Structures are given as C-alpha cells and as structure tokens.
Chain A
Amino acid sequence: MSTTKSHWSKDKPLYLDYQATTPTDPRVVEKMLPFFSERFGNPHSRTHHYGWDAEDVVEEARAKIASLIGASPKEIIFTSGATESNNLALQGVGRFYKDRKNHIITCVTEHKCVLDTCRHLEQEGFDVTYLPVQENGLIELGKLAEAMTDKTLMVSIMAVNNEIGVIQPIKEIGAMCRERGIFFHTDAAQAAGKIPIDVDDMNIDLMSISGHKLYGPMGIGVLYVRRRPRVRLVAMINGGGQERGMRSGTLPTPLCVGIGEACAIAQKEMGAEAERLKMLRDRFHAGIDARLSEVYLNGDLEHRIPGNLNLSFAYVEGEGLMMGVNDLAVSSGSACTSASLEPSYVLRALGVEEELAHTSLRIGLGRFTTEEEVDYAVEKIATEVTRLREMSPLWDMAQEGIDIKSIEWADH
C-alpha cells in the first residue's frame, strides 16, 4: 500500500473523467491566449489588418484539422461543438434530401443528441431504424445490411462510444454505405485524436468532432462534409453566410486556433500516447481484478479506445459507491445524463442488469493521467467496494452461496 499522503480530496479530486471533458492542453492554451486579447480581430473583416490576421490563423487551424482526418480544408465546417455538428449532419442533410430518401439508420447506443435528433426527424416524416448492439457494445454488420433499403439516405453510427469506449467497425460500415450510395455520418467526438481516422479510407461522408474532448477548448466543434461525392445540407443557423453558407455566425478565432492546435498535437502524439494509456488502463484493470471479485467490464476490451474502462461492481449500492470515492472525479454514465438517477441506456442496451448498471463507474484516463494516479484510484475503489460489501447482507448471502435472484422478497 502506498505510504505517500495523497494530495487529492473531495474539494480537489483526482480527475478521471476524460470522456466528459478533457483539460485544455497548456500548449493549446498558449496558442489561444493572444487571440483572446491583442490579436482580437474578426476573421470576416476584410478591410484591415486585424481581420486578415484572424482569417489567416483560422485557415491554418482548418488545415490542421483536415490533416488529422485526411480531409481537404474546404471540407471542414466549424460549429459550436459536436452536439451542433451531429444535429447539422442529421437535420441538415435529412432536410435537403427528404423528398428523395427518408430513411435513416442509427444505433441504440448513440449519444443522446443523435438519438433525440432522430426522434425529432421521425416527427418530420423520416423513418429511423435503431440498430441493437451485441453484448460487447458493437453493432452487427449483418443487421446493418438487412436494414438498408433504397430509401436509406444516411447511416449514422458513432466511431467510439462515450460511455464504454468501444470502437465500431467504421471502415466496414463506410464501405457498405458507399457501395449502396448511402451517406455515412459518424460521431467521432470520442474518437478524433484518439484513434487514426481517414475519411477517404473509411468512406466517411460526414463526421462530427468536438474541441473539448481532444484537449482543445469547449464551444467549438467541426462537421466534416465531403465534397466528392458532394454532400449537401440545409443550414440550421443562417445569417452572414460564413462557412460556405452551411453555418453562419462570427467564427470564434481563439477557439478555432485551439481546436486546430489540439488536432496538430494529437496527430503527432497519438501513437505513443495510445500505448501509454493502454499500459495505464491495463494496470488499472489488473489492479482492480487483483483486489476484487465480481467486477464486470462493460463493452468489448479488444475494440476499445485505450483511455476508457467501464466497470460494474456487484453487491454495492451505486450512490454509496459514488459518495465513497468522492475524491475521484469519475462518472457513472454519460455526463449529460448523470444528473438523473436513471441507469445508463447504453449499459441497458448491452443487456447489463439494472442492478449492475447502477453500480457502474466510467473511468476515463487521458494525457495527464499518471501511474501514481492510477494506483491511488485502484486502491481507493478497491477499499471502498470492500467496505460497502462488508456492510451488505446481499454480499454475505452471495458468499454463502445463496442465489440472490431465487429469493422471493416479501411484499411490504
């Protein structure tokens, strides 16, 4: 057991929630700062120095983002974030082609903003197929093929799931879509900068990226929109005609610079960083397994980004566990839904029982996570789970070999 006194506390917890948001890399902050102050020009001002300066750096940023995903800078549309990008891809493309094709295929574990937008489009007359996932969180390509019809306009399947970190077979999906003339949109908010993505190789037509999930700032995202073969869409935000008419509004120069730099750093460091994170993740997983039994990993281990673990701890109570580890900033489900007490719909879609869904922790490791932090968190979680189990009559019964599910609880 570690003898060093921990410097984490309830007020200053150890951050292990890299899928909710990532700290802005100091190198990114440094690049952004001048554009918050002295280089403040409006990139759309075409009549003076300040404007040209801002336009230059915005275009540099666009090129860096394009480079990360093998796109052309002209295919990069700045948005306010991945939620807007996902909305624009689905609503915008949907409305443009609605008269010709009105079927969309997505899957049940998508981010809420994709699912909610699809539900809204159903009210506008679209047919939406929500593909199930297997126990490991991955879709079945056979089911996807079965769902495709000549009315299918678009397939929207996320690259990486935000709760369980599993990587969907993007390249295979892309090939199937291209073959049938169906647009392929992927929500890559959790994937960009973490795993290699090439829009041409993977036949991606539309892709959403978020700034604050790859060590860039909040408030900025990107929608990649393919030019050949061309994808067209109806803008949701109209006005000055910026972003080739697809998204109006003054571009936020510092945020554009920030996401550009974040992409450049990710491109350079992705390989080595993935190895380091995988080592830390495996250390975390092994550490927990060595200390505790009856812990279940949610989602496939093989097809998974290195920075994510999602574990369910049997025989503890979810709320109690969260309270017990309150010097760890971890999440029990997506940050967007974690304010509610509903169990995660993603885990439920995997077939995880309600009890286990309630006691799941999403552990997000990232660029600034250290070995010391991993060891501390393992120790903390193991100690807390052990303590809670010692107080649990269910755990006692399980130890005595009683099948909890066979018990008929008396009504009261």
Chain B
Amino acid sequence: MNDYAYLDHNATTTPRPEAVLAMTSVLTGVGNPSSVHGPGRAARKILEKARADVAVLVNAEPGDVIFTSGGTEANNLALTGCDRERRLISAVEHPSVLNGGGDIIPVDQNGTIDIDRLEERLLADNTPALVSVMLANNETGVIEPVEDVVAIAHRHGALVHCDAIQAAGKITVDAIALGVDMMSLSAHKIGGPSGSGALIVPGISTGAGATLSGLLFGGGQERGYRVGTENLTGIAGFGAAAVAALASLEGFARLATLRDAIEQGVKDIEPQAKVMAADVKRLPNTSCLTMPGVDSETQVMAFDLAGVGISAGSACSSGKVKVSSVLKAMKVPDDVAVSAVRVSLGWSSTPEDVTAFLAAWNILHGRRTKQKFSAPAA
C-alpha cells in the first residue's frame, strides 16, 4: 500500500516509530504490573513512565491519569462514573458521549457550541450538572471554546468533561489551563496503538478532583477507577506516542499548509464546492468538504479505487448511509451534507498525498460533470 495516499488520520493515524519500538520491546517481555516480583516491578515501571509521559502531553500530573481501553471507554467512564446525573451535551459530540443521553446544547452553523443557550439551561435548573463538550470535532476539526464553557459551567456549579481525543497531539492541549474537570484521550489518534486511552481527572489522586466511580469491579488497578490487568504494551505505546506527538506539535501545525492547498485546489476546480466551518478556528489537519452533486458514498469509493483513502464521516458510523449528525446539528442542508467527505491529514502526510487527492478529485468531478451534461433528458 506504498502508493496509497492515506488521508483518514482522524479515524486512526500512522503509528509513530517511537511507539512501535516501545511496544515491540514490551510485547516480548513478561510481567503483570500487579505482581510484586522482579518482572512485575519492571512492568510497573513501564506503566508509571508512560503515565508520566501521557500526563505531560496535556500538562496534567501523573496521578491524574486513569488508563482505559480507549477513548470510548474514557468517555463512558466520565459520563457514567461521574456523580452528576444531569448532563448537558453539545450537539456535535461523538456517539460515545451522545448515546449516554442528556440535554443537547445546540451549535451554530459553524459547529460552535451556543454558549448563551448553555448558560440559559444551567440557570433554568440548579441540579448539579455535568457539561460535556469536545475540544475539537472529529468530522469538521472545529475547535470549541472550552475555556468559556468551563467559566460558565463552574460559575453555575457544573463540572466539565472534555473529549480531547481529536485535539491531543494536534494542537497544544493544557487540561489545567482549560480548567476542565475530566478529559478523554485516545492513543491511536496520536500515533499510538488502538486499545489504549485515558481519562484525565485533575486532582483526583489528592481528592481535589471530580468524584468518580469505576464502571468495572475487582482488582484495584488504576486506584480502583479502572480495574483489570493493564494493557501494558498499549500503554507503553501510548506514552511513547505522547512524547513524540508533543515534540512535533510545530510540525503538525504546518499541516495547515497542506490542508489549505487541498481546499484551495478543490475550489479552483469547482467554485461551488463548500468547506465546512472554514471561517472558524479548526484543527490544522481536518477538512470537511463537498463535491456538489456527488454523494459521499460514491466519492469515497471512487477515491479508494484511485488510491486515496478518505471517509464519509466518523469511522464508527460509516457503512451506514445517512447524513452526518454533526452536519445536521450545524443545519447544513441535506442536499449539501450528502456530498460532504472528511479529509484528515496526519504527521506522516506529504505534499504528494495532496497531489494525489486533488488529481482524484479532479477526475471524479470531471466525469460527473460530463455525465450530467450528456445525460439524456428525462
């Protein structure tokens, strides 16, 4: 698959060599971190090193890190494990947050949470609440005003959970500066392995943080918040990926050049093409754009045949032909939304990937336009 232009890094990204190296070394060793003998203590050391490395990525303390089996579990742990039964959830959250249920806070046409509405809802009912808002959206890359959300939520006694799965490793993420009470991370979105993630709960080790109870029982690992033998290989890979991602944030920011080239290139071919939320702060790597008149399913298939991998929305919901709930929440008209695809770059992306994408876009668009004009009148 060497000639394949992989542009679906928000689904999962190229593993970083540092992570692969760390995992290979742990995978060939032996030791359960809960065992007290030598191999057990060696395993424990690997675990604690990774914990510190993951903490640094988001400026948290090692004691704030609860390792989970991934981002979905971290989100579930935050929502279900938190002692707040009333939840206020932004309309563009990932299904692992949305499916937990709660009051939906709308977003504007750019996908940004409606802060005034949030405050209204908090004022209307003084039951202690949990607000869940993501830092960056997986489909559009839109960056949410989490700091503002935290200020309002805390003013009304609410806690804030922030799904930072798509933001971490792509932009600077500072859990402390943002002031969030809980934050979810996923290893395989930053160049680590799937099967590993974390919930960051600032202050939890000293009793200063949010009150949390675990989803699983038995064993006492992760101070009881997440029991079960740790995925040591995955956690080691997560730690190594966190170090590498943090060190290369500047390089990641430069992906905006490639993204802009994609968006400009598409507009040069077809001025009617739309880029979602183009005017607000977005991740440097994500573009959600339309090819007018061509539905997203047709596009992703044609792109794959041309050696370019993109997606029609989030990976979890792909395979089902339906309009993205994110675009729906942004009130994008259905006829526009059906032709939107997600292009997402990663740390390993190159200008050649962009060239391949634009060439494929051009061919597909040209074919479709010609078909349209040569179609017999009905």
Contact = CB atoms under 8 A, between A and B. Distances in A.
B217 A45 contact: no
B20 A115 contact: no
Nearest to B97: A239
A232 B270 CA distance: 51
B73 interface: yes
Interface string B292-331: 0000000011011000111110111111000000000000
Interface stretch (B7-15, B115-123, B142-150, B202-210): B7-15
A335 interface: yes
Contact of B95 (A239, A329, A331): A239
B318 A114 contact: no
Contacts of B4: 49-50
A252 B317 CA distance: 17
A80 B73 contact: yes
A108 to B, nearest CB: 14
B23 interface: yes
Nearest to B2: A38
B218 A84 contact: no
Size bracket, chain B contacts? 35 or more
Contacts of A359: none
A61 to B, nearest CB: 13
**Interface SS of chain B:** loop
B62 interface: no
B318 A44 contact: yes
A157 to B, nearest CB: 16
Contact of B6 (A32, A50, A80): A50
A23 B217 contact: no
Interface stretch (A128-136, A243-251, A271-279, A403-411): A243-251
Interface in B80-117: 94-96, 99-100
A329 B12 CA distance: 38
Contacts of B40: 17, 20, 329, 335
Contacts of B24: 29, 33, 36
Contact of A40 (B14, B95, B301, B311): B14
Interface of B: 1, 4, 6, 8, 11-15, 17, 19-20, 23-24, 27-32, 34-40, 68-73, 75-76, 94-96, 99-100, 186, 188, 193-196, 215-221, 227-234, 237, 300-301, 303-304, 308-312, 314-319
Given A29-B28, A48-B300, A338-B36, A218 B194 contact: no
B234 A252 contact: yes
20 contacts: A21-B35, A23-B29, A37-B17, A37-B20, A40-B12, A42-B188, A44-B315, A49-B309, A111-B218, A240-B314, A240-B315, A250-B186, A250-B194, A250-B316, A252-B193, A252-B194, A253-B194, A328-B37, A329-B38, A339-B34
B1 A38 contact: yes
Given A13-B39, A242-B316, A249-B70, A26 B28 contact: yes
Contacts of B220: 336
A202 B314 CA distance: 41
Interface string A184-228: 000000000000000000000000001010000111100000000
B316 A241 contact: yes
Nearest to A22: B30
Nearest to B197: A249
Given A22-B30, A36-B20, A252-B195, A218 B219 contact: no
A239 B34 contact: no
A45 B230 contact: no
A236 B76 contact: yes
B355 to A, nearest CB: 18
A155 B372 CA distance: 64
A57 interface: no
Contacts of A402: none
A238 B318 contact: no
Given A12-B38, A83-B228, A329-B39, A249 B12 contact: no
A23 B31 CA distance: 8
Contact of A254 (B35, B193, B228, B303): B193
A249 B27 contact: no
Contacts of A20: 32, 34-35, 40
Contacts of B231: 80-81, 217-220, 255
A249 B37 CA distance: 33
Ranked nearest first, the 9 interchain pairs of A and B with the lowest CB-CB distance are: A219-B231, A113-B218, A240-B316, A252-B195, A239-B96, A83-B228, A48-B309, A80-B69, A249-B72
Contact of A250 (B8, B15, B28, B70): B70
Contact of A50 (B1, B19, B36, B300): B1
A186 B228 CA distance: 17
Nearest to B100: A238
A61 B304 CA distance: 25
A45 B76 contact: no
A254 B237 CA distance: 12
A254 B186 CA distance: 16
Contacts of B303: 47-48
B15 A40 contact: yes
Contacts of A87: 215-218
A84 B300 contact: no
B96 A238 contact: yes
A120 B227 CA distance: 14
Contacts of A53: 1
Interface string A24-36: 1010010011001
A53 B304 CA distance: 13
A83 B195 contact: no
Contacts of A289: none
B32 A21 contact: yes
B345 to A, nearest CB: 15
A369 interface: no
A297 to B, nearest CB: 22
B315 A250 contact: yes
A114 B228 CA distance: 11
A26 to B, nearest CB: 7
A177 B1 CA distance: 51
A100 interface: no
A219 B37 contact: no
A112 interface: yes
Nearest to B30: A23
A326 interface: yes
Contacts of B73: 80, 237, 249
